[in-house]
Amino acid sequence: MVSKKNYAESSGAGVLAAMGSVTINDAMKKYFMDRVEEWAFFGKMDSHLYRQKLFRRMEEKALSAEAMMLVYAMASIIKSQPRIVQAMTDMPENERFSSEGVWYSVRSFFETECVQYVTSARKTKKFPVVNIPNTMPGLDILWFCLCTKDEDRTMDKLKVRPTFTQMALKADVQTIAREGYEFYWTKVVKGTRNEDKVEAPGMKQNYYETSAADKYQLIGLTATNTLTLIRASATDGLYSKEEVETYLRSFDRSPPSSSTGT
């Protein structure tokens, strides 16, 4: 007579009895135990976990602080992994603003340690360039400000950078950021060159909510070009529209024109 298998038994003994004398073989045990760090990130990647993963990889490759900044600059401005590698390869040596060691280490980092899209990163275990800006939104916005003409450095232009939603914004400013986020994903991004795309481009509410839950600080420069956090004046730590606009104007190359008549 076959005994009834009691899978519902509350202590778990019923399941163990039903499975009999099954053991975990050494290969299975090793597979899971050797991937402790991978499981820690699995299925829950956000900007903070991506940042941790990125900096670990940059440290493993012994990138200097200057090299790390150059990584962020290239990812924020050029955006495309193959274009970054090509641009750094083609630039004449006399125009390379960093030391030769820094330049080549950054180009090598993008060439050997990065891919463009998340789906490719999952297969290759490399880092997706599309996710570098959102690991430090303050740096992405800083580079936007440094590389934009005064007349183009506006709230309307800033709001279409997806990283803007990740900043510590008051509710009315976050509303503006959401408008820009939706515009970017529905009007600017019309398609993708990602051959392994798993979903169509477009506004994803859950992605937006994850971004909006971040509360990053704006980053500015001192007189000696040292990075510094720009704190919001309110006790809640959230930036008002006026504070964001003041931040944008702080990068103006030309003084405001006078409106006084003669």
Which residue segment(s) compose the domain that 246 sits in?
Answer: 136-252
In this prediction, residue 8 carries a pLDDT of: 60
Burial class (CB within 10 angstroms; exposed 0-12, middle 13-18, buried 19+) of 3: exposed
Q: Which amino acid is at 107?
A: R
Give just the sign of the alpha carbon dihedral 111, 198, 54, 239.
positive
Q: Is residue 33 part of a domain?
A: no
- CB of 88 within 8 A of CB of 80? no
| Tokens read off for 70 | 């150059």
Do 155 and 248 sit in the same domain of this protein?
A: yes
In this prediction, residue 262 carries a pLDDT of: 41
Q: Is residue 15 part of a domain?
A: no
Q: Is residue 29 part of a domain?
A: no
Do 169 and 213 sit in the same domain of this protein?
A: yes
In this prediction, residue 2 carries a pLDDT of: 47
Q: Of 115, 135, 155, at which residue does a domain stop? A: 135
Q: Which residues touch 76 (CB under 8 Å, ≥6 apart)?
A: 132, 133, 139, 140, 143, 144
- CB of 203 within 8 A of CB of 195? no
Do 141 and 183 sit in the same domain of this protein?
A: yes
Strand 127-128 relative to strand 218-221, pairing: unpaired
Do 161 and 191 sit in the same domain of this protein?
A: yes
Q: Is residue 82 part of a domain?
A: yes
Do 168 and 247 sit in the same domain of this protein?
A: yes
Do 160 and 111 sit in the same domain of this protein?
A: no
Q: What total of structural domains would you count in the chain?
A: 2
Q: Is residue 27 part of a domain?
A: no
In this prediction, residue 261 carries a pLDDT of: 46
Among residues 32, 188, 41, the alpha carbon closest in space to that of 121 is found at 41
Kindly list the averaged pLDDT for each block of 10 residues, start to end, along the chain of length 262: 57 65 77 70 72 93 94 96 95 83 94 93 91 96 96 97 97 97 88 55 86 95 95 96 98 71 44
Do 80 and 113 sit in the same domain of this protein?
A: yes
Q: Is residue 65 part of a domain?
A: yes
In this prediction, residue 30 carries a pLDDT of: 83
- CB of 191 within 8 A of CB of 202? no
In this prediction, residue 62 carries a pLDDT of: 95
- CB of 36 within 8 A of CB of 71? no
Q: Is residue 7 part of a domain?
A: no
Q: Of 80, 115, 135, at which residue does a domain stop? A: 135
Q: Is residue 218 part of a domain?
A: yes
